[in-house]
């Protein structure tokens, strides 16, 4: 076993870090992370971390670039403060959608972020539901990717529905994850396909591939941002004769008009986790937030003591 375990938090999601520390039965490590008047982020670790096993909790949630730079600076500070091992706990890995060059002369920011974390001092990464599992391979340090799928699946499994359920991938790209949930719920799968029509790519149609009529749909996403796509999916499903629509995602970004859109569309319930902070103002009645801290806390305990993470999902 490693030397003493310590958990620290940046400003992205302090309450999550506190719940994790509580799960582990230790106090949250003391540090200051703030900006000077010239906007320069500064970090001061307020307790000795020499040869300690340090975990830094910081999702790359809004404000994204501030939180990323904050994390990088914290990693540098812990490295220079002689921590024995530093694990970046990034429950939501931002920039994950920029993971390939699908048009000329664009960045692969998800790889860049992996390199930034590594060069800043991370020895390992702990994260939840990456947009693409290949992002693990952007790192050459060990990555433990947890999944909220069991959490979400168990929640849906214990509900009762008016009609038979069908799991719906809201996009071609999410179809694998949807299939995993469908398998877990022993339900069939349908897939939404967005297709640009005509010249100049101006209009899009949304096709439903598979049978949904007369069924209860559960849509799956890794993250929901402005909820524009989600609302389009819900409306299309309803138009196709779906009884009720439930949705779930791991990372509730919910930016801009998201809350208003969700509130006003015929969605029955949206189930999410709190890998990113969900402000009280966003907590609609129809939004259910499942706590992710126990999953992360258990994983940290296992990393620290050398127990298997895989065994958590058997």
The smaller minimum CB distance to a copy of itself, of residues 81 and 284, is found at 81
Closest contact distance (angstroms) between CB of 4 and a copy of itself is: 8
Catalytic option among 14, 79, 194, 286: 194
Closest contact distance (angstroms) between CB of 307 and a copy of itself is: 7
For residues 117 and 59, what is the distance between their CA atoms, to the nearest angstrom? 13
| 14 flagged as catalytic | no
The smaller minimum CB distance to a copy of itself, of residues 19 and 125, is found at 125
Could you tell me which of 75, 68, 60 has the C-alpha nearest to residue 124? 75
The smaller minimum CB distance to a copy of itself, of residues 19 and 144, is found at 144
Closest contact distance (angstroms) between CB of 277 and a copy of itself is: 14
Closest contact distance (angstroms) between CB of 239 and a copy of itself is: 17
The smaller minimum CB distance to a copy of itself, of residues 108 and 289, is found at 108
Catalytic positions, written as ranges: 194
């Amino acid at each position: 076993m490693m030397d003493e375990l310590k958990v620290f938090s940046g400003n992205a999601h302090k309450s999550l870090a506190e719940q994790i520390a509580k799960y582990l039965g230790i106090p949250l490590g003391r540090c200051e992370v703030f900006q000077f008047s010239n906007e320069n982020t500064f970090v001061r670790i307020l307790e000795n971390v020499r040869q300690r096993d340090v975990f830094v909790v910081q999702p790359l949630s809004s404000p994204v670039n501030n939180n990323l730079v904050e994390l990088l600076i914290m990693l540098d500070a812990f490295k220079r403060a002689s921590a024995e091992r530093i694990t970046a706990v990034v429950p939501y890995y931002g920039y994950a959608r920029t993971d390939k060059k699908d048009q000329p002369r664009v960045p692969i920011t998800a790889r860049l972020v992996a390199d930034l974390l590594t060069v800043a001092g991370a020895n390992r990464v702990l994260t939840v539901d990456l947009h693409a599992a290949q992002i693990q391979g952007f790192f050459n340090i060990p990555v433990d990717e947890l999944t909220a799928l069991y959490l979400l699946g168990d929640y849906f499994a214990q509900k009762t529905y008016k009609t038979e359920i069908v799991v719906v991938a809201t996009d071609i790209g999410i179809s694998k994850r949807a299939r995993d949930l469908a398998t877990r719920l022993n339900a069939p799968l349908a897939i939404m396909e967005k297709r640009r029509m005509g010249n100049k790519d101006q209009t899009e149609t949304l096709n439903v591939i598979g049978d949904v009529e007369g069924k209860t749909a559960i849509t799956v996403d890794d993250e929901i941002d402005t909820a524009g796509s989600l609302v389009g999916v819900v409306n299309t499903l309803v138009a196709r004769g779906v009884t009720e629509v439930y949705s779930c995602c791991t990372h509730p970004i919910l930016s801009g008009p998201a809350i208003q859109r969700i509130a006003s569309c015929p969605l029955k319930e949206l189930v999410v986790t709190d890998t990113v902070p969900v402000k009280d103002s966003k907590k609609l009645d129809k939004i259910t937030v499942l706590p992710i801290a126990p999953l992360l806390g258990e994983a940290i305990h296992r990393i620290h003591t050398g127990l298997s993470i895989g065994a958590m999902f058997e």
